[in-house]
């Protein structure tokens, strides 16, 4: 479809891509030869097919990936070759693992842990408290009324002790609390108001309790607060306040997880630097816990979104696919972000990608602005191509751009 908006967008992107070409000439998107190798003629090629991200980054931080049993079945060789940290994508979430008071679904979680152990891959746990994929039964008391704070704390403690205890010594880091900060520009509202936890507590007491219970259950595990849009300045200030207050209260927290669901046009390097500087100034470590870089750009690529919102009959949305222009922007953004990570590598313990290859990303089912993709509300199903391996599991150019950020000194 050639709407004026899309034409403009294509023109803009062509200009941008031309500008980028200059930058990218300096970004080698193929394996880098070490000085030693290139000075010796006729040596074997620099690309070692058995080497993975984990090897390139071995002096910097762990490189992880979120998995399901399906992705392990499909991509086990790639996972074993490339990664040294695994996060269960869904199988340790509270509602998935513990759907009713006396029902536990350990099968997938146990199988993922066993797979990781068999292949000497570290495991991070995700998560122990969230307002989504949660255990709804916890919020209601035996009398059918909202559970009291005491009952909810008791259930939280039982849950955390059971899960963290079961994997004690096997899981090196836990996302203890996920996404408890409120979005939006009002900097006075720090805590997520629509969380069932907040509704019952009206205070961050449940957040502190979750960390204390996790620490009781496995004193050696690193405990993280995990959230998205952590580089947005307003959101970042709130996350900072939350974790600072935990530190001030002597709550056992070791680090902050930046989910890093990024776009090809955001965040900027400076936004990421500012956020990292402030969090690390509290003596906390950092992990990038759910990294992907979506190639979908809002509005400009959804010319008929307005019509869809209005419920009008509109032509099918255009899916531009993984065009060279979008690929160039994605490569540049990956490079920018990993360059900043190199600056802060002393504080960064792991960088985890959210899903394995572009064949299947959780973003594919989602539209702009989040939520399930449907033909309404401007949420147009479109592939996101957000990872370092293409739909066939092959390394993308972005892979080499990332590898080439490694400081070999």
Please compute, for residue 78, the number of CA atoms within 13 A of its CA located in the half-sphere on the CB side: 19
Residue 116 C-beta: closest distance to ligand XIL, Å:
18
Write each residue from 348 to 387 as x if it is in contact with ligand XIL (CB under 6 A), else as -, in one continuous string.
--------------x-------------------------
Tell me the closest approach of the beta carbon of residue 223 to ligand XIL, in angstroms: 16
Q: At closest approach, how far in Å is the CB of 118 from ligand XIL?
A: 24
DSSP-derived 3-state class of residue 321? coil
- Measured CA to CA, the distance from residue 105 to residue 76 in angstroms comes to 23
- DSSP structural state of residue 344: T
Of 279-298, which residues contact ligand XIL (CB under 6 A)?
A: 290
CA 239 from centre of chain: 16
258/400 with CB nearer ligand XIL: 258
Q: Check the CA dihedral 371-374-378-379 and report its sign.
A: positive
Q: What's the CA gap between 225 and 69, in Å, rounded?
A: 25
d(CA 140, CA 144): 6
What is the x/- site pattern for ligand XIL, positions 239-258, by CB under 6 A? --------------------
What is the smallest separation between the CB atom of 373 and ligand XIL, expressed in angstroms? 12
Question: Can you tell me which of 71, 85, 108, 178 binds ligand XIL, judged by CB under 6 A?
Answer: 178
Q: Which is nearer to ligand XIL, 57 or 228 (CB)?
A: 228
Contact positions with ligand XIL (CB under 6 A) in 149-168: none
Within 145-258, residue ranges assigned H as helices are 149-166, 196-201, 205-217, 233-248
Q: Which of 89, 231, 285, 290 is catalytic?
A: 290
State the minimum distance, in angstroms, from the CB of residue 256 to ligand XIL: 13
Catalytic residue, candidates 82, 89, 179, 327: 179
Looking up tokens 């720090």 gives 190
* Closest CB to ligand XIL: residue number: 362
Q: What single DSSP character describes residue 179?
A: S
- Neighbour-count burial for 248-282, b at 16+ CB within 10 Å, e otherwise: eeebbbbbbbbbbbbbbeebeeebbeebbebbbee
Name which of 89 and 218 has its Cβ closer to ligand XIL.
89
Is 208 a known active-site residue? no
134 is a contact residue toward ligand XIL (CB under 6 A)? no
Active-site residue, 343 included = no
User: Closest distance between ligand XIL and the C-beta of residue 221, in Å?
Assistant: 18
Nearer to ligand XIL (CB atom), residue 104 or residue 362: 362
Q: Closest separation between CB of residue 226 and ligand XIL, Å? A: 6
**Cα–Cα nearest to 112, from 92, 134, 135:** 92
Cα–Cα distances in Å, from 403 out to 217, 280, 329?
37, 24, 17
How distant is the alpha carbon of residue 178 from its chain centre?
11
Considering only 28, 90, 265, 342, the residue that binds ligand XIL (CB under 6 A) is 90
Q: In 218-356, which ranges are continuous DSSP H helix?
A: 233-248, 269-281, 305-309, 324-343
SS3 label, residue 164: helix
State the nearest-atom distance from the C-beta of 142 to ligand XIL, in Å. 30
Query: Which of 106, 217, 237, 97 lies closest to 168 in space, CA to CA?
Result: 217
Q: How many residues bind ligand XIL (CB under 6 A)?
A: 6
- Binder to ligand XIL among 75, 89, 292, 327 (CB under 6 A)? 89
Task: State the Cα–Cα distance between residues 326 and 151, nearest whole angstrom.
Answer: 51
Q: Is 259 in the site for ligand XIL (CB under 6 A)?
A: yes
Chain-centre distance for alpha carbon 93? 15
Catalytic residues, by residue number, are 179, 290
Name the residues that contact ligand XIL, by CB under 6 A: 89-90, 178, 259, 290, 362
């Amino acid at each position: 479809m050639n709407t004026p908006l899309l034409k403009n967008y294509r023109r803009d992107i062509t200009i941008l891509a031309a500008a980028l070409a200059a930058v990218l000439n300096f970004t080698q998107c193929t394996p880098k030869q070490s000085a030693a190798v290139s000075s010796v003629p006729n040596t074997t090629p620099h690309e070692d097919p058995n080497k993975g991200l984990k090897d390139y980054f071995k002096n910097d931080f762990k490189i992880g990936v979120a998995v399901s049993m399906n992705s392990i079945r499909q991509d086990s060789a790639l996972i074993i070759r490339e990664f040294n940290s695994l996060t269960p994508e869904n199988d340790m979430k509270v509602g998935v693992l513990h759907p009713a008071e006396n029902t536990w679904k350990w099968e997938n979680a146990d199988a993922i842990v066993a797979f990781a152990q068999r292949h000497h891959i570290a495991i991070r746990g995700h998560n122990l408290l969230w307002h989504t994929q949660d255990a709804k039964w916890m919020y209601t008391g035996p009398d059918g009324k909202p559970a009291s704070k005491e009952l909810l704390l008791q259930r939280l403690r039982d849950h955390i002790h059971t899960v963290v205890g079961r994997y004690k010594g096997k899981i090196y880091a836990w996302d203890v609390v996920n996404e408890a900060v409120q979005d939006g520009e009002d900097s006075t509202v720090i805590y997520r108001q629509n969380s069932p936890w907040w509704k019952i507590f009206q205070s961050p007491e449940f957040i502190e309790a979750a960390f204390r219970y996790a620490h009781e259950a496995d004193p050696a595990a690193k405990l993280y607060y995990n959230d998205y849009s952590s580089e947005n300045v307003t959101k970042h200030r709130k996350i900072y306040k939350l974790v600072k207050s935990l530190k001030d209260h002597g709550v056992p927290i070791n680090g902050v997880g930046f989910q890093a669901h990024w776009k090809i046009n955001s965040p900027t390097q400076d936004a990421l630097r500012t956020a990292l500087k402030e969090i690390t100034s509290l003596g906390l470590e950092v992990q990038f816990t759910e990294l992907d870089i979506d190639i979908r750009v809002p509005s400009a690529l959804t010319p008929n979104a307005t019509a869809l919102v209005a419920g009008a009959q509109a032509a099918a949305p255009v899916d531009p696919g993984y065009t060279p222009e979008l690929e160039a922007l994605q490569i540049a953004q990956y490079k920018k972000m990993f360059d900043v990570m190199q600056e802060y590598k002393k504080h960064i313990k792991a960088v985890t990608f959210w899903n394995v290859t572009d064949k299947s990303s959780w973003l594919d089912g989602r539209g702009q602005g989040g939520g399930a993709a449907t033909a309404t509300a401007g949420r147009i199903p479109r592939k996101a191509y957000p990872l370092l391996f293409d739909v066939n599991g092959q390394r993308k150019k972005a892979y080499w751009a990332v590898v080439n950020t490694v400081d070999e000194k």
